[in-house]
Amino acid sequence: NHYGCGIDENTIKESADAVVRLGLRDAGYVYVNIDDCWMTDKRNSDNELVPNPVRFPHGIKFLADYCHHKGLRLGIYSSSGTKTCAGYAGTLNYEEIDAKTWARWGVDYLKLDNCYHDLVSNQARYGRMRDALNATGRKIYFSICNWGEVSVWEWAGEVGNSWRTTGDISDNFDSMRDIFKFNANLAQYAKPGGWN
């Protein structure tokens, strides 16, 4: 993630604008995803996640509408634990509330990370979120980011639309090559609707 925690509303809008301006949307790149650090570290009185009011003053629905108007889709980040990897409010035990919130905002994609999971099994955590997303009635692409733990490729096809099979990629060719080589051996687990 190029921006780390230095993300804000204008960065997301500028990214969406660039995807369209550079012709990437027309080439099939339609998702603009917000990674970690978009939220506050506490939930509101209804136990809902709250966008950082300084960096996202108009909220996430505003950005979803902005992207949709441009023919794009908006993605959001959370973690399947009590906190995100950067220490913000996580999703564990709030799956239904968070899924409903994201659906109400018009979110189209969820990247669900693996930090601070309190030793709750991967299948249980990600399965609960799958069920919560499906219950909203909104089609939200579900990306499982558990770093390849517990042979995710063997079970995630029944849970999400894509899954990470390794740890983070680094900004160099060797990292990309190593991840490619690892994934070449997992091709049989990928299929339309479920990708390594």
Q: If DSSP codes are grouped into helix, strand and coil, which group holds residue 11?
A: helix
Say how far apart CA 27 and CA 25 lie, in whole Å.
5
Q: Is 113 an annotated catalytic residue?
A: yes
Do 93 and 58 contact (CB within 8 A), yes or no? no
Residue 191, amino acid: K
The helix/strand count (H/E) of the chain reads as: 5, 5
Catalytic residue, chosen from 35, 36, 98, 113, is 113
Q: Is 168 an annotated catalytic residue?
A: yes
Instruction: Give per-residue burial for 24-55: e unless 16+ CB within 10 Å, then b.
Output: ebeeeebbbbbbbbbbeeebeeeeebbbbeeb
Catalytic residue, chosen from 17, 168, 174, 178, is 168
- Show which residues are catalytic: 113, 168
